[in-house]
Amino acid sequence: MGDKPPIRIGLIGCGSIAASAHLPAIARLPQLVRLVATADVNLEAATQAAAEAGAEAYSDYRQVVERPDIDMVLLATPEYLHREQVEAAAANGKHVLCEKPMAPSLADADRMIGACASAGVRLMVAHSRRFTRRYQAVREAIDRGDIGEVMMVRENERRSRPLPGEEGYYWRAGHWTSDPAVSVGAILTNGIHETDLLRWFAGAEPVAVYAEHSTTIEGNQVPDFITLTVKFANGALGSAEVSNCWPAGYPSYHQLELYGTSGMIRSRDSEQQGLIRFRPGAADFPGSYHRLLHVQDAYTTELGLFVRALRDDLPVPLPASEARAALRLGLAAVASAKSGMPVTLGAQPSPQDQGGAGQ
């Protein structure tokens, strides 16, 4: 593999997730990948992202996918743009690593899978938690039978509002994540990780979900807080709490608990912070988000495994059908929260969930 040239990447979307996660991952893998071009509707952001690698910058993503010297595109754009951009990439013969959530609807997800399958290119959705070492260790423990049969999975994710004068990553007035025309709120923006992990650790498909959500941040128009309870086909129960609305300065925090017939596993972020910074009206924990789940390691592993699959003609490490299944559960939770009633999904996934289309 050492004599194979690097995979040439086009990065589409140069906002916070690209800057904090994907660009550092690319920089860490110089023998595997090379950044050739970037695109963002904000040309200044695209230019800044391209600068260190000496890449070309564009304001139109089509100029990236149409370049013959691009092997794959990395989509770090909002989910409502994914279908259009994946279809364009596939039509131009580019493999796709796409940020989560996969899409805002199952219809879009199916079109993305179908477009890549028809074009003979690979599609993977970047569910970074699957590539986090602590969660991989949990899955390995389950597979070894360390806790017997899984009976309950509980996953919580808590994030705070931006500090005064800081924009934060999401959930501010005017940001697309707060726009009900293109966002359904916390369950897809970051809670898609929870629906994916619940399925992964339960080891079965969901048959029913009940959820409640609320909108708490001033100026926000979509739910920033959701709780859900899931019943799986194998009898396991799952629960999750996803919140983006805690007071400014509250540390980002995750906690996972699994209970089995012969043991339990707990995995959570450290509550010991090396530094607390106090400001007028708020306190914060510098670096807590960037240490969260060893973020950089997860994104580097994710990209490296995807690229090796392309170079060695192997299946991608996370089939797109898995991302679709997480989306299916997330959308069902939204429907339940809106109706105030449980939503039945059925024990079997749809045919699209089963296959390796686009892999």
Q: How many domains does the chain have?
A: 2
Tell me which of 105, 126, 147 is where a domain ends.
126
Residues 195 and 217 occupy one common structural domain: yes
Residues 191 and 76 occupy one common structural domain: no
- Beta bridge partners, 268, equal 255
Tell me which of 76, 107, 126 is where a domain ends.
126
Q: From CA 116, how far away is CA 108, in angstroms rounded?
A: 13
- Nearest CA to 178 among 145, 227, 222? 222
Residues 234 and 148 occupy one common structural domain: yes
- Beta bridge partners, 256, equal 155, 267
Residues 134 and 266 occupy one common structural domain: yes
CATH of the domain at 78: 3.40.50.720
Residues 120 and 178 occupy one common structural domain: no
- DSSP assignment of 111-162 equals HHHHHHHHHT--EEEE-GGGG-HHHHHHHHHHHHTTT-SEEEEEEEEEEEPP
Using DSSP's 3-state secondary structure scheme, residue 306 falls into helix
- DSSP assignment of 32-96 equals TEEEEEEE-SSHHHHHHHHHTTT-EEESSTHHHHT-TT--EEEE-S-GGGHHHHHHHHHHTT-EE
Counting Cα atoms < 13 Å in the Cβ hemisphere of 123 gives: 33
Q: From CA 174, how far away is CA 220, in angstroms rounded?
A: 9
Tell me which of 258, 277, 292 is where a domain ends.
292
Q: From CA 155, how far away is CA 39, in angstroms rounded?
A: 35
**pLDDT averages per 10-residue partition of the chain, 359 residues:** 85 93 95 98 97 96 98 96 98 98 96 98 96 91 96 89 59 69 84 96 97 81 90 97 79 86 86 63 60 72 97 96 97 95 77 39
Task: Give Cα separations from 246 to 80, 159, 171, 174, 213 (angstroms).
Answer: 26, 6, 12, 19, 15
Residues 144 and 121 occupy one common structural domain: no
Residues 164 and 239 occupy one common structural domain: yes
Q: From CA 215, how far away is CA 226, in angstroms rounded?
A: 9
List the domain range (segments joined by +) for residue 77. 7-126
**Residues for the chain: how many in total?**
359
Residues 109 and 229 occupy one common structural domain: no
Q: What is the dihedral of CA 136, 225, 162, 274, to 10 degrees?
A: -40
Q: pTM (2 decimals)?
A: 0.89
Q: What pLDDT, on a 0 to 100 scale, did the predictor assign at position 354?
A: 38
CATH of the domain at 201: 3.30.360.10
Residues 20 and 85 occupy one common structural domain: yes
Residues 259 and 146 occupy one common structural domain: yes
Residues 116 and 259 occupy one common structural domain: no
Considering the domain boundaries, does residue 340 fall inside one?
no
Task: Give Cα separations from 235 to 39, 49, 135 (angstroms).
Answer: 46, 47, 22
Residues 106 and 164 occupy one common structural domain: no
